[in-house]
Amino acid sequence: MFFFQNPSLIRLGLKAPLVTNKAVSNVFHKTTPSSIAATIKNIAAKRSLSAVSTSNVTFATSSALRFNARGSSFFTSPTRSFSTSLKQLNIASQSASKPTSKWPANSHKAVGYLCIGTSILVFAIVVLGGLTRLTESGLSITEWKPVTGALPPMNEEDWIAEFEKYKASPEFQLLNSGMDLDDFKFIYSMEWSHRLLGRIIGMVFVLPTFYFIATKRVSLKTSAKLLGICGLIGLQGAIGWWMVYSGIDTNLLEERRSKPTVSQYRLATHLGAAFVVYCAMISTGYSVLRNQWIMKNPSEYAKYFQQIQSKSLSRFKLFTKGMFGLIFLTAMSGAFVAGLDAGLIYNTFPHMGEDWIPSKAELFDPVYSRVKDQADLWWRNMLENQATVQLEHRILATTTAIVVFATHMYSHRIKTIIPRHAYKWLNISMGVVTLQYILGMCTLLYLVPTDLAAAHQAGALTLLTCALLVINNLKKPSKANMMILKKYLEESAKKSGAKPLN
């Protein structure tokens, strides 16, 4: 961190016509740009996690470093005392002698491609899960067999056996008693496909992860993230069965006073876990690939680094994080709408029936309370009353659209200091949220048709992706690219003339 906390030392190496006082000249009269770069190289070598390649050297971040086209530096902060810099240099040198790690500082680019590629499969399974719910196929498989369940019924006898198991379920007895074997084959195939894709995602991600970790092709920090994602994938399978069980267990249905359908709480948990896995993959993969980009494009990185370190971006970063959280919350409220079939009532917009909102008596109906003193009246209506849940989703969706629009308009005022890619993804977010809002209205007005409802769910994840990429393009870099700075400083020193100070 030494060089970036003391920009005066870097300025000394990059700016040829440096104007200094006599004390400074006496100490540094023999210092050249190349010697500064060499000093940085030595410090980088001491701080490196591995000296094998350029990807194994620690990079400390700076809010003061900026480069112009000639390779010279220019700083807005005043020159700091060189005596302080020398003192900190001695401290840094003494504390730099640490044992090197066998883990690389930067992960291989294949790790990034693995995360991004698998996230596409997660996106697909979210959409397929929505279709499974919309076709009411989720309760067709009444057993959880993580391994043997990967095989579908192989002959007619197997199909009949599975159908008999389904006939014993509350859904068949109360809702689908007229279903024949052909109809059952369709809903069974939908649920089986959903589960199979989940197994494929686990295999595609977990096995390469173990390989990359075993061969140490990932950084220690990234390996922890990958293992965390692996754990979430396994947990997601258990959450999925936990959700399905809420719709086939008679006791749970009686406790909820519900028809045979999954619990909206467990549905939201299942969807939320899928979103977390997806976002973790996108964020991890993007970080890995960005580090690779930094290594190949140090000059572009210098400009990018200058922008994200600006204090003027603090408010904008806060807005984008709030926007991301609001989008996620709105998507989770959509899961409650789906779990309660709340989209099948009040199919008007913007009014709900003849009024803007239903009456208070309907929004907070005592029938949903389960205790004598009705202490749970408020929160149970908020989470279990169809009318209240739909109103909440309308409010959150509208608020999200307004926040995205406001953030988008604010970005135009500070366009010059926003990284290009962050600005691009925010513009895309504005278009996606507009389309998503229209899809939501159409889904409601047309009584939740399967195609529109599936597109609406896909739109929610697409919007969340755009917001996540805005945030990732505003993140400060990791400490894994000190060699990039060293190389760039060397090149800048050569361009500046490398003349000693007199």
Encode pLDDT of 23-64 as tens digits. Answer: 333 333 343 444 434 444 544 444 444 433 434 433 333 333
pLDDT digits over 440-451, tens only?
A: 999 999 999 999
369 HSE (CA, 13 A, CB side): 12
Write down the residue that tokens 């204090």 correspond to. 311
What separation in angstroms does the CA of 51 have from each of 99, 111, 296, 481, 489?
A: 12, 21, 18, 12, 19
Enumerate the domain spans of the chain: 103-296, 303-501
Write down the residue that tokens 């500082």 correspond to. 105
With cut-offs at 50, 70 and 90, classify the pLDDT of residue 83: very low
The secondary structure element, H or E, covering residue 256 is helix 250-256
What pTM did the predictor assign? 0.79
Angle of helix 264-296 relative to helix 314-339, nearest 10 degrees, comes to: 150
Bridge partners of 355, per DSSP, are 352
pLDDT digits over 399-441, tens only?
A: 999 999 999 999 999 998 999 999 999 999 999 999 999 999 9
Residue 351 backbone phi and psi in degrees, to 5: -75, 155
Q: Using DSSP, state whether 101 is helix, strand or coil.
A: coil
For residues 263-281, average pLDDT = 98
Write down the residue that tokens 């964020």 correspond to. 283
pLDDT of residue 79: 37
With cut-offs at 50, 70 and 90, classify the pLDDT of residue 198: very high
The answer to whether residues 308 and 475 touch, using CB atoms and an 8 Å cutoff, is yes
In DSSP notation, 27-45 reads HHTT--HHHHHHHHHHHHH
